[in-house]
Each structure stands twice: as C-alpha cells, then as structure tokens.
C-alpha cells in the first residue's frame, strides 16, 4: 500500500497507545477517556471494543502475532484481555489487577 495515508479524528481525545493488527489493515488504540477502539484502515471507520465507565485512561496495548490475544493496561493498574479465534471479533476473556492503584506502563 505505497502512498497510503489516513487521518482519524478521535474527537479531540488524546490517543495514549496504538498497535498495528498483524493483518496490517487495522490499528487498535487506547485513549485518555478509557476507550479501546479498532480502526479499520480500509473502510476508514472505528468500532468500540471497550469503554471504561470511569473513563480511566488506557496506557498500553499489545497484540499477539497470531492476533488471538489482545491486552490493554490502564492508569489504575488493571489489565483487560480479549481473545479471538480468527484474529477478528475479540471477546472479553479476563480482567486482572496487575498493579493495584498504580498505572501500567507496558503490556
């Protein structure tokens, strides 16, 4: 995709973490308002994966090479893990407290 460029408007909310999906057609990002979204680069649309009711900022994201696991860490030390059988349609798997009352630097 030479010369491929997209701009995404996150409504003024700062993006804190982003990872490229192994399919290279999506970017998964976490923002200051506690949302994790998947941005489809081909369709140029984003869908919500997770919204924190308390708006705790997401600090870090990681995805496995085969795209079967995705993890996000937030400012309160919580990690959220999703799984996928096919690298799409992530389903919540587990929430764990990695660092009680302390932010996660890196997943």
Predicted local distance difference test score (pLDDT) of residue 4: 64
User: 93 phi and psi, to 5 degrees?
Assistant: -115, -50
Sheet of strand 45-51, all strands in order from the earlier edge strand to the far edge: 15-20, 26-31, 35-40, 45-51
Predicted local distance difference test score (pLDDT) of residue 2: 55
The pLDDT tens digits for 47-104 are 999 999 999 999 999 999 999 999 999 999 999 999 999 888 999 999 999 888 788 8
Q: In this structure, which CATH number among 1.10.287, 3.30.310, 2.40.10, 1.10.405 belongs to the domain 15-97?
A: 2.40.10
* pTM of structure: 0.88
């Amino acid at each position: 995709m030479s010369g491929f460029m997209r701009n995404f408007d996150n409504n003024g909310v700062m993006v804190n973490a982003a990872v490229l999906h192994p399919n290279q057609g999506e970017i998964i990002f976490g923002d200051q308002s506690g949302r994790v979204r998947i941005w489809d680069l081909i369709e140029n649309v984003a869908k919500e994966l997770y919204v924190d009711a308390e708006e705790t900022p997401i600090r870090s994201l990681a995805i496995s090479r085969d795209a079967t696991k995705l993890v996000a860490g937030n400012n309160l030390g919580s990690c959220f893990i999703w799984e996928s059988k096919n690298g799409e349609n992530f389903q919540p798997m587990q929430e764990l407290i990695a660092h009680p009352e302390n932010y996660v630097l890196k997943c």
